[in-house]
């Protein structure tokens, strides 16, 4: 009998249900398996996947830069759940119990799940169905209906190459029981001391018939209070606590899961299964915009012909093309020139910033749009903010596609490296991307979700920002601390960032508006997300949006985006930004938050739920907006 666990469809492309992630369920912790192992994939892969195809050619073109054989983005299907069973037996994900070591709270036995199942079959005379249960206690209780459910161990191991493994508890318990003269004893280290490392004896022998139990003691509150005891066939015992567990390192080739198939010396280290470092999904998102019909192969060929005269500038080429009746921006010409005027190659070689620039430009250059997938209107009356804000769009409908390309463990990577091979990087990353299927970058299909929602687009005035920076050169000095902390940050995802005044300004504004939507309107911050459009001299915008399935009423966000309502909301957000419950400590901080990468920003005033922020709640500073001397919005307060 199979066990089924429902999860929200959109969570299958997230940190809480994506391929390779661990999810906590009523049945225990489950590891989501590779895409090709899903019943959904096995039933529909091939021509039938066309029925689940997400239409977004702009996005597919970009993904093909890395996944060269990609055919479709496949939408993860919905499947109703009735009477603890799914309606469709094929529209399913697949998962397995992980960690695989379980213990019985009643008798304290501790063993792998496959051994528990084997014992159940031997003792009870049938296959174990349903949740993992202790067969020994079941027999001891004269087969009464009361089940003795097993509990999973809380610890697991991860490696920098994306693999997971169980802690080899049997070898942990018996390692260095009798140190061999040729094998130096493991260095015993405390759990909070990273300078020392504990290694297991790879040659330790587990005598056949050895059983294990696990117990806890109230005498110690740390890992010394958890003890594993091995009982040998001769009834002798040997015990070892979990002290020093987090300093343990085990080579891949020494782990039972891999010793028969790998000679790799990559080291695994223990973590709590609930740790954030277990899983970082590499998710790319795309906002639908109508296809750009201005750049056809014919137009590109004409631009290429005009560019053969090397003395011509991009501005002159744009003017000549305009005389032929085509509207092509200077940015597009530069983009084509960088890709040798090969349109298909240019479309696939877009960086994350260039890809978002297409969305940004569409909002900036159009006053409105009305079609089935994108509908927006531009607000006309910006009041006192018209000199500082160039544009506000009320987006009544948008379509957002999210695709899981890969994932990492132990630490995240920068978004611009999701579609880049390790060989293309100047510095080899500490962690490696793990593919979502065994087909790796040759896969035909990538799983995705498509959602409709609504939002607010805001563009700050480029001219006003330039004047603000010119009037206050001390802004660069103020952010020097953040820039220094960025260089020292251990995480690769942070090292690629830059603490420019423009970025910190726009990012903080996004957070303050989301916080105000929560404070003033009761709109849950966790249901809102930001999408930043920031690049010096090129983009100065932000998008705040929600998608169907998130908490909050559909239509509620755009109803607040009437000219008078939104201006009042913005005024309230800026007023509230002057007053934090943690002031003056927060206001005068020279570094706080993760990696000390925030200035005047804390949980009381500017930090959002992690699902709402694109930048891990870093690079925030209220002073850049509302300081009485140099704040961008100081004259509107």
pLDDT tier at 471, thresholds 50, 70, 90: very high
In this predicted structure, what is the pLDDT of residue 354? Answer: 86
Cβ atoms 483, 403 nearer than 8 A: no
Query: If you write DSSP's letter for every residue of 534-569 in order, what string do you get?
Result: EETTTEEEEEEEEEBTBSS-TTHHHHT-SHHHHHHH
Which residue spans within 146-236 are E strands per DSSP?
A: 151-152, 155-159, 164-165, 198-199, 211-216, 226-231
Q: Report residue 360 as tokens.
A: 């940004």
pLDDT tier at 1, thresholds 50, 70, 90: very low
What's the burial of 232, exposed, middle or buried (CB within 10 Å: 0-12/13-18/19+)? middle
What proportion of the chain, given as a percentage, has pLDDT over 90? 47
* 7 or 588: which leads in pLDDT: 588
In the predicted model, what is the mean pLDDT of residues 477-501? 79
What crossing angle do the helices spanning 462-471 and 501-521 adopt, rounded to 10°?
A: 110
User: If you search the block for the tokens 């199942």, which residue do you land on?
Assistant: 117
Task: Say how far apart CA 11 and CA 21 lie, in whole Å.
Answer: 11
Q: Return all residues near 257 (Cβ < 8 A) that are at least 6 apart.
A: 165, 166
In this predicted structure, what is the pLDDT of residue 403? Answer: 95
- For the stretch 259-295, pLDDT in tens is 777 788 889 999 999 998 999 999 999 999 987 755 6
In this predicted structure, what is the pLDDT of residue 183? Answer: 35
Cβ atoms 493, 431 nearer than 8 A: no
Q: Specify the 3-state DSSP secondary structure of 85.
A: strand
Task: Say how far apart CA 186 and CA 344 lie, in whole Å.
Answer: 56
In the predicted model, what is the mean pLDDT of residues 527-544? 93
Task: Say how far apart CA 148 and CA 106 lie, in whole Å.
Answer: 7
In this predicted structure, what is the pLDDT of residue 576? Answer: 93
- pLDDT score of 579 more than 80: yes
In the predicted model, what is the mean pLDDT of residues 485-500? 73
pLDDT tier at 339, thresholds 50, 70, 90: low
pLDDT tier at 297, thresholds 50, 70, 90: low
In this predicted structure, what is the pLDDT of residue 346? Answer: 62
In this predicted structure, what is the pLDDT of residue 564? Answer: 76
- pLDDT score of 390 more than 90: yes
In this predicted structure, what is the pLDDT of residue 540? Answer: 96
Query: Which strands make up the sheet holding 151-152, listed edge to edge?
Result: 110-112, 101-103, 151-152
Residue count of the chain:
637
- For the stretch 392-416, pLDDT in tens is 999 999 999 999 999 999 988 888 8
Peptide bond into 99 cis (omega under 30): yes
Q: Specify the 3-state DSSP secondary structure of 114.
A: helix
Write out the H or E segment, with its range, that includes residue 452.
Answer: strand 445-460
* Domain range list for the chain: 154-272, 461-636
In this predicted structure, what is the pLDDT of residue 146? Answer: 66
Range from 200-204, 349-353, 535-539 that averages highest in pLDDT: 535-539
* 123 or 459: which leads in pLDDT: 459
pLDDT tier at 124, thresholds 50, 70, 90: confident
pLDDT tier at 338, thresholds 50, 70, 90: low
- pLDDT score of 443 more than 70: yes
Task: Say how far apart CA 344 and CA 110 lie, in whole Å.
Answer: 57
- pLDDT score of 181 more than 50: no
In this predicted structure, what is the pLDDT of residue 188? Answer: 38
Q: Give the residue among 512, 513, 499, 506 at the shortest CA–CA distance from 464.
A: 506
In the predicted model, what is the mean pLDDT of residues 2-11? 81
Write out the H or E segment, with its range, that includes residue 401.
Answer: strand 389-408
In this predicted structure, what is the pLDDT of residue 616? Answer: 87
In the predicted model, what is the mean pLDDT of residues 58-82? 89
pLDDT tier at 549, thresholds 50, 70, 90: low
* 336 or 408: which leads in pLDDT: 408
In this predicted structure, what is the pLDDT of residue 342? Answer: 67
In the predicted model, what is the mean pLDDT of residues 62-69? 90
* Range with lowest mean pLDDT among 140-154, 181-195, 462-476: 181-195
Range from 4-18, 327-341, 397-411 that averages highest in pLDDT: 397-411
Average pLDDT, the chain: 85
- For the stretch 459-468, pLDDT in tens is 999 999 999 9
pLDDT tier at 306, thresholds 50, 70, 90: confident
Q: Return all residues near 293 (Cβ < 8 A) that are at least 6 apart.
A: none
In the predicted model, what is the mean pLDDT of residues 65-70? 90
In this predicted structure, what is the pLDDT of residue 493? Answer: 59
- pLDDT score of 553 more than 90: no
Q: Specify the 3-state DSSP secondary structure of 285.
A: strand
In this predicted structure, what is the pLDDT of residue 240? Answer: 92
- pLDDT score of 186 more than 60: no
Q: Which residues of 102-119 are buried (b: 16+ CB within 10 A; e: fewer)?
A: bbbeeeebbbbbeebeeb
Write out the H or E segment, with its range, that includes residue 521.
Answer: helix 501-521
In this predicted structure, what is the pLDDT of residue 189? Answer: 37
- pLDDT score of 192 more than 70: no
- pLDDT score of 97 more than 70: yes
* Range with lowest mean pLDDT among 108-112, 215-219, 321-325, 535-539: 321-325
Torsion of CA 497, 503, 505, 506, to 10 degrees: -120
- pLDDT score of 202 more than 50: yes
Which residue spans within 101-186 are E strands per DSSP?
A: 101-103, 110-112, 151-152, 155-159, 164-165
* 493 or 290: which leads in pLDDT: 290
């Amino acid at each position: 009998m199979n066990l089924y666990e429902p999860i929200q469809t959109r969570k299958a492309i997230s940190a809480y249900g994506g391929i390779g992630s661990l999810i906590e369920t009523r049945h225990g912790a489950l590891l989501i398996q590779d895409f090709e192992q899903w019943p959904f994939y096995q039933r529909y892969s091939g021509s039938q996947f066309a029925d689940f195809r997400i239409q977004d050619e702009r996005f597919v073109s970009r993904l093909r830069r890395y996944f060269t054989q990609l055919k479709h983005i496949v939408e993860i299907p919905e499947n109703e759940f009735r009477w603890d069973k799914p309606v469709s037996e094929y529209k399913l994900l697949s998962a397995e119990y992980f960690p695989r070591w379980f213990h019985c709270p009643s008798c304290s036995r501790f063993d792998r799940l496959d051994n528990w199942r084997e014992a159940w079959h031997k003792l009870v005379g049938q296959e174990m169905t349903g949740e993992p249960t202790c067969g020994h206690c079941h027999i001891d209780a004269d087969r009464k209906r009361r089940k003795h459910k097993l509990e999973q161990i809380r610890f697991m191991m991860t490696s920098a190459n994306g693999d997971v493994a169980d802690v080899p508890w049997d070898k942990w318990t018996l390692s260095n029981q009798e140190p061999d003269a040729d094998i130096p004893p493991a260095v015993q280290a405390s759990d909070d001391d990273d300078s020392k490392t504990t290694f297991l004896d790879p040659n330790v022998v587990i005598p056949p018939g050895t059983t294990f139990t696990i117990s806890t003691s109230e005498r110690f509150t740390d890992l010394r209070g958890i003890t594993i005891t091995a009982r040998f066939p001769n009834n002798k015992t040997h015990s070892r606590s979990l002290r020093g567990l987090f300093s343990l390192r085990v080579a891949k080739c020494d782990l039972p899961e891999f010793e028969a198939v790998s000679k790799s010396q990559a080291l695994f280290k223990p973590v709590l299964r609930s740790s954030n470092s277990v899983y970082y999904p590499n998710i790319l998102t795309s906002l639908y915009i109508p296809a750009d019909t201005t750049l056809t192969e014919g137009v590109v060929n004409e631009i290429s012909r005009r560019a053969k005269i090397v003395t011509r500038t991009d501005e002159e080429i744009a003017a000549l093309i305009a005389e032929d009746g085509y509207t092509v921006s200077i940015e597009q010409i530069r983009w084509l020139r960088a890709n040798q005027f090969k349109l298909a190659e240019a479309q696939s070689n877009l960086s994350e910033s260039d890809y978002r620039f297409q969305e940004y430009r569409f909002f900036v250059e159009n006053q409105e749009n009305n079609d089935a997938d994108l509908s927006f209107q531009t607000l006309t009356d910006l009041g006192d903010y018209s000199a500082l804000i160039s544009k506000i769009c009320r987006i009544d409908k948008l379509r957002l596609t999210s695709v899981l390309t890969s994932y990492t463990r132990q630490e995240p990577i920068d978004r611009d490296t999701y579609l880049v091979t390790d060989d293309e990087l100047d510095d080899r990353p500490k962690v490696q991307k793990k593919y979502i299927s065994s087909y790796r970058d040759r896969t035909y299909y990538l799983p995705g979700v498509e959602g409709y929602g609504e939002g607010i687009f805001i563009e700050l005035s480029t001219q006003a920002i330039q004047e603000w920076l010119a009037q206050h050169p001390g802004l660069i000095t103020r952010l020097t601390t953040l820039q220094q902390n960025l260089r020292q940050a251990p995480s690769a995802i942070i090292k690629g960032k830059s603490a420019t005044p423009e970025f910190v300004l726009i990012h903080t504004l996004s957070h303050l508006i989301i916080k105000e939507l929560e404070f003033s309107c009761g709109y849950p911050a966790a249901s809102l997300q930001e999408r930043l459009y920031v690049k010096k001299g090129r983009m100065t915008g932000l998008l705040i949006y929600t998608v169907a399935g998130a908490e909050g009423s559909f239509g509620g966000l755009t109803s607040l985006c009437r000219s008078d309502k939104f201006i009042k909301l913005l005024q309230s957000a800026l007023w509230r930004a002057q007053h934090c419950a943690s002031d003056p400590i927060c206001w005068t901080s020279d570094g706080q938050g993760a990696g000390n990468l925030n200035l005047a920003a804390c949980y009381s005033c500017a930090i959002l739920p992690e699902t709402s922020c694109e930048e891990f709640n870093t690079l925030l500073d209220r002073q850049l907006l509302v300081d009485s001397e140099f704040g961008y919005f100081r004259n509107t307060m």
